[in-house]
Amino acid sequence: MTLTRRQILEMTAAAGTIALAPGAALAATGDEPMKDSAGLYTQPWFLQSFMDLKDDLVEASSAGKNFAVLWEQRGCPYCRELHAVNFADPEVADFIKANFTILQFDIHGPRKVTDFDGTVMSEKELAQRWRISFTPTLCFFSTDPASVEGKIGVDAEVTRMPGYFKPFHFATMFAYVQGQHYKSKNFQAFLKERADKMRADGKTVVLW
């Protein structure tokens, strides 16, 4: 299931949150995150590969992990926020590292990538093929390599995060995919259930 901007606003309301105006979240950041040679914010545990997506998914699946592609670009303030806040949370980062393999792409990048159907093109061309409109965007895939056979990424993904999600929503998205809840319910419903259960257990739902 691919989320739209309207659905993001709806799920925010469903979880009992208030959407922040653009830039409002950018004040609460930590140290400057690490950048790679291309100027993208990055993490040392991101996958370094030959950028053959089917092979990368097979490798992730063999390790018992989910596979995801993260799209970013230089100068993106919400990409910085993703690294300075979301990935900087040890609990969130540890869960992702234990359960996911993440391959990072540059939405304007020139590097050659092999899509799941065997087509080779640049990162920029692949972003257009997959209809990537916002950064950061995360595309999640099934753990079953057979499910992507002959498909392009946009048709093979099980869900995507189209733009920046606040930490609670972000962590919930990874739990949603890791538990394969996309097979039985949409993300909005899962988000609300998770928030309601935490409150019922006397836990605080930390929105920021």
**Model pTM score:** 0.83
**pLDDT at 208 exceeding the cut of 70:** no
Sequence ranges of the domains in the chain: 5-200
CB of 147 closer than 8 Å to CB of 129: no
pLDDT at 32: 84
| Amino acid type, 193 | E
pLDDT at 206: 77
**pLDDT at 150 exceeding the cut of 60:** yes
Per residue in 92-139, pLDDT tens? Answer: 999 999 999 999 999 999 999 999 999 999 999 999 999 999 999 999
Q: Give, in order, the Cα–Cα distances in Å from 83 to each of 21, 75, 152, 178.
A: 19, 13, 28, 21
H or E element, residue 138: strand 137-141
The total number of residues written for the chain in this structure? 208
Architecture of the structural domain at 5-200: 3-Layer(aba) Sandwich (3.40)
Using alpha carbons, select from 117, 116, 143, 137 the residue that is nearest to residue 60: 143
